[in-house]
Chains A and B, each alone.
Chain A
């Protein structure tokens, strides 16, 4: 059960990190300083 929970947690973390990368990609200039 702990493994399942950790997999869900990892998926949630990656989903938000993916959102951050997507937001950066949408930014003019790619969002990098």
Chain B
């Protein structure tokens, strides 16, 4: 790590905590109904929808409401994509802004994948935004789901925390009220302010048709030849066939980018307006916008730690969870940046200077965001995969094997290091329950967390919540590398190809959405396989988490005694870190050994 890299990391964490603290006070106020204006504005909405806001429900009804809400979301996003070609389109007419490029309907399998992807807060994108989605689809389908999927994650964690905070209660909240409040008073205001800031920094926001410009120089490049089946043509050795291209004209994609970008980051969604995501200059124009985008990914997950502390009446509990996340995050960020700064030993052997100097960045610059360098690219990669965001500014596929393993492992830990909005904290609280259970086993005492006895039922639910995603990732990867359509999508042979499949399944099942690059995933096989992983990885965890919430809410609160394990100190933080890492390693080390670890060892072997 270079000096500026350390400084970037330190400033980032400092500003993050300074922003998260006041935001937590606001979220707590809104979600507990203590914001006066809230009830006056919401009342007509509830009357219109036939909702009685004062009536709360048990966990099963709460979960069913969420499932219906998100199921309808899938249908709506799917329908808009399939119908965009017949809705008003073309550069003329009163609704020209719907679809000025006259983009056709999205294929059924891709539309399904995208619908599930955006509803589950994954935002995996098998498509390229500017060549596939109309402005109407981007706004009404994808951006709306960015809000609603983020709201879903937040209300689940609020319900879980209510389970800890309440005692002898059957209800964990009103799902419709919670969804309304978090969308209306947290996500919308933050996004509006952030979108305006982004426009000020140069992110575009318009409904213009794409613009054709003439470049100053003739540009020559090579790109993979695409066959009639839409897949890259490969030679006898399985390598992609490249064809030379040249030209002096370029089409510049336009669109309402800032309004989608703001919630894409704040809601840890990550689905880019453009195919290049946050590496596109219209989506991330400067180092300042890059820094703000990195901050916006973590700000709600960090604030929710404080919200948790406030709701359970002990802010130290929130600090302990936040400390756990920060320590894990710093370790992974330092690892990723260091591996990339060390560079590729094979290039060094050929005479490339791997050391950073005033004249060159050193290290491994392949696939990095050239404007921001290795430190910012490595930090962004760590942030976007620690959170379940998935926005990218660098190609993780081009990282060194161990550098690329960092984002992969962060996803495989279950997206609990900050994680997605809401989902990161409820995932970490599930691990906290597991940690007190392990501690209870060690000292021979019935485990308890925040005054709630942890018993058989909670542990069954914790087991389901923890095991669902590894099951999906490992089985899905096995299917992908065994099935012919799965292998056909891999660009690279050997260990790196295996990593491409493992990364895609890890990203989908843990609802991250970032891509490793190299995998041709817009095929019926991958669209369906990944949609399945995304849906089950999201709601297969939410359901047992809500079951835990319901079970805990009904329990009485136990008094703190001399035998109670303190869960706000360094000992518990260490225990929680150990639990997260141990479970992650036990689940994934064999698979990682076949991918990035083998690839790393091959770097040192004769070619």
Number of A-B contacts (CB under 8 A): 77
CB distance from A22 to the nearest CB of B (A): 9
**A9 touches which of B57, B64, B112 (Cβ 8 Å):** B112
How big is chain A's contact interface, by range?
A: 20 to 34
CB distance from B100 to the nearest CB of A (A): 26
Instruction: Please determine whether B109 and A5 come into contact, CB atoms closer than 8 angstroms.
Output: yes
**B550 touches which of A4, A9, A21, A27 (Cβ 8 Å):** A27
- B95-139 contacts to A, CB under 8 A, are 108-109, 111-112, 116
- B307-345 contacts to A, CB under 8 A, are none
Instruction: Please determine whether B540 and A19 come into contact, CB atoms closer than 8 angstroms.
Output: yes
B501 close to chain A: CB less than 8 A: no
Instruction: Please determine whether B75 and A23 come into contact, CB atoms closer than 8 angstroms.
Output: no
CB distance from A31 to the nearest CB of B (A): 5
* Chain B residue at minimum C-beta to C-beta distance from A1: B108
CB distance from B472 to the nearest CB of A (A): 12
CB distance from A2 to the nearest CB of B (A): 6
Given contacts A2-B82, A12-B536, contact A33 B112 (CB under 8 A): no
- Assembled-state Cα–Cα distance A20/B599 (Å): 41
Instruction: Please determine whether A33 and B170 come into contact, CB atoms closer than 8 angstroms.
Output: yes
Given contacts A16-B67, A26-B457, contact A9 B170 (CB under 8 A): no
Per-residue A-contact encoding for B442-474, CB less than 8 Å = 1, 0 else: 000000000000000100110010000000000
* Chain B residue at minimum C-beta to C-beta distance from A15: B536
- Assembled-state Cα–Cα distance A15/B538 (Å): 12
What residues of B have a CB within 8 angstroms of the CB of A13 in the complex? 67, 71
B60 close to chain A: CB less than 8 A: yes
Given contacts A5-B78, A16-B535, contact A33 B171 (CB under 8 A): yes
- Assembled-state Cα–Cα distance A5/B531 (Å): 11
- Assembled-state Cα–Cα distance A31/B544 (Å): 12
CB distance from A26 to the nearest CB of B (A): 6
- B68-110 contacts to A, CB under 8 A, are 71, 74-75, 78, 82, 108-109
What residues of B have a CB within 8 angstroms of the CB of A2 in the complex? 82, 108
Instruction: Please determine whether A20 and B67 come into contact, CB atoms closer than 8 angstroms.
Output: yes
Per-residue A-contact encoding for B545-577, CB less than 8 Å = 1, 0 else: 011001100000000000000000000000000
How big is chain B's contact interface, by range?
A: 35 or more
**A23 touches which of B71, B111, B461 (Cβ 8 Å):** B461
Residue of A26, A28, A33 most packed against chain B (CB within 10 A) = A33
**B547 touches which of A5, A12, A31, A33 (Cβ 8 Å):** A31
Residue of A13, A19, A28, A32 most packed against chain B (CB within 10 A) = A19
What residues of A have a CB within 8 angstroms of the CB of B491 in the complex? none
**A32 touches which of B58, B460, B528, B535 (Cβ 8 Å):** B58
What residues of B have a CB within 8 angstroms of the CB of A17 in the complex? 64, 67
Instruction: Please determine whether B544 and A23 come into contact, CB atoms closer than 8 angstroms.
Output: yes
B532 close to chain A: CB less than 8 A: yes
- Assembled-state Cα–Cα distance A23/B59 (Å): 10
Instruction: Please determine whether A20 and B64 come into contact, CB atoms closer than 8 angstroms.
Output: yes
* Chain B residue at minimum C-beta to C-beta distance from A11: B532
CB distance from A27 to the nearest CB of B (A): 6
What residues of B have a CB within 8 angstroms of the CB of A1 in the complex? 108-109
What residues of B have a CB within 8 angstroms of the CB of A8 in the complex? 112, 528, 531-532
Instruction: Please determine whether A27 and B171 come into contact, CB atoms closer than 8 angstroms.
Output: no
Instruction: Please determine whether B67 and A31 come into contact, CB atoms closer than 8 angstroms.
Output: no
**A20 touches which of B60, B71, B531 (Cβ 8 Å):** B60
CB distance from A16 to the nearest CB of B (A): 4
What residues of A have a CB within 8 angstroms of the CB of B82 in the complex? 2
**A33 touches which of B58, B64, B464 (Cβ 8 Å):** B58
B539 close to chain A: CB less than 8 A: yes
- Assembled-state Cα–Cα distance A21/B116 (Å): 22
Instruction: Please determine whether B547 and A24 come into contact, CB atoms closer than 8 angstroms.
Output: yes
- Assembled-state Cα–Cα distance A23/B109 (Å): 31
* Chain A residue at minimum C-beta to C-beta distance from B528: A8
B297 close to chain A: CB less than 8 A: no
What residues of A have a CB within 8 angstroms of the CB of B547 in the complex? 20, 23-24, 26-27, 31
B376 close to chain A: CB less than 8 A: no
B543 close to chain A: CB less than 8 A: yes
B150 close to chain A: CB less than 8 A: no
Instruction: Please determine whether B460 and A31 come into contact, CB atoms closer than 8 angstroms.
Output: no
- Assembled-state Cα–Cα distance A19/B63 (Å): 11
Q: 15 A–B contact pairs at CB < 8 A?
A: A2-B82, A8-B112, A8-B528, A12-B531, A12-B536, A13-B67, A15-B536, A20-B546, A21-B60, A24-B60, A24-B547, A27-B457, A27-B550, A31-B547, A32-B60
Other contacts beyond A5-B109, A12-B535, A27-B550: 15, CB < 8 A: A2-B108, A5-B111, A9-B75, A9-B112, A9-B116, A16-B540, A20-B60, A20-B546, A20-B547, A24-B60, A26-B461, A27-B551, A31-B58, A31-B550, A33-B57
Closest 6 CB pairs of A and B: A33-B170, A1-B108, A33-B58, A16-B539, A23-B547, A5-B112
Interface residues of A (CB under 8 A from B): 1-2, 4-5, 8-9, 12-13, 15-17, 19-21, 23-24, 26-28, 31-33
